[in-house]
Amino acid sequence: MIIGLLGCLINNENMGCVALTFSLINMLEQIAKEKKMDYKYYIFEVAPNEECRKHAIEMLQLQESQIKCFDVTPLYRVRRFVHHFSNGIMSLNALNQCDYVIDLTAGDSFTDIYGQYTFDGETNVKLLTKMLGKKLILGPQTYGPFSTDKNIQKAKKAIECANLVISRDQKSADYMASFSNKEVYVTTDLAFTLPWNIEDSGLKDKIQVGLNVSGLLLSDKTESTPLLIKLKTSYDTYIRGVIDWLLTENRYSIYIIPHVGNDGSDYVRKLYGDQLNYCEAYDDPISAKNKISQMDIFIGARMHATVAAFSSGVATIPTAYSRKFAGLYSNLGYPYTIDLVENNTEENIKRTIQYIREYKHLQYDVEECKDKVEKLSRETYELLFEILK
């Protein structure tokens, strides 16, 4: 069986996007084993890279022939297809060979908050998949928001043509119900199932705090992705406020852990120098999760960095710039999200300090949520098992 993967990236510096791909393939391999079948994966992404393909095969312990990669961008628009005709024909033929197509839209990109160009391209390829008569599965992801009626209608068309629609949170399902009667199953984020290796970090004389500083939210951005959301919190001031407090307490070892390239590491290094510990950009999400799992507390604005922390038992403080955070964590009954959109800077600094002081309680609540995460992840497995015939 050939399974096409859309919005599933392996050549990308965003470890969260790659974590979703790794987690999905890992789950599909378990299904294949149970069904006694062989699956091949055609990954459609921007700028396929042979080294990344080989690295994914190695990390996931697959056979060389199991993953093939194709350029998705010619499929986004007719004009681009014409300008890149050879690649376009190759990608179109590959898509037409797939028995099923699973689309994750990078987890949170089925929306127009990252710009109209991205929304149109990602949605066009969903519609193209159905035009080819393929069975389309919209895997666990965030849906919306969409800012115009035109975009809502286009998203509705893509959602309603899918054979299976899975949301990773109830908020997304409720939002879709406002414009569509399509049946939506609510489970949770795939990256909760990403494997990791427990590594002994040695004797700890201080409380280990991991801090992920997002290059998307800093005033001097390190990421080119547009963000059409206004924050009530000054993210730069918030980061400085939290770090300054941690340093005055002298009970914490602070690690700056990037999850998309170097994220905001350079910004922090200029301000604090060798007072903090800095991790280099990671090549794969498993290595990033290995490091995050060594922390006692993790504060992060990259959602999948917080998922890595949460799923490895670390006291987790997500700093949210969109409803994908609140939707995901409220679905699990975990209330410790810092809302950068609704709350002001001072309020968020105070609340973060409070959660740091109470980190043992957060660790306890993370463990309490473990059974629900496993139950919801199992539901994703069963839904995919049932449809992949």
Nearest to 341 by CA among 366, 359, 324: 324
Residues 275 and 294 sit within 8 Å (Cβ to Cβ): no
pLDDT per residue as tens digits for the range 258-303: 999 999 999 999 999 999 999 999 999 999 999 999 999 999 999 9
Structure tokens at 351: 């609340």
Please give the model's pTM, rounded to 2 decimal places.
0.92
Q: Distance between CA 175 and CA 97 in Å, rounded?
A: 33
At 308, list the tokens: 């890595």
Q: 208-243: per-residue pLDDT in tens?
A: 999 999 999 999 888 878 887 899 999 999 999 999
Please tell me the distance from the alpha carbon of residue 9 to that of residue 182, in angstroms, as a whole number: 27
The amino acid at 363? Q
Alpha-carbon Rg for the chain, nearest whole angstrom, is: 21
Using the predicted structure, report yes or no on whether residue 159 has a pLDDT greater than 80.
Answer: yes
Half-sphere exposure of 378 (CA within 13 A, CB side): 6
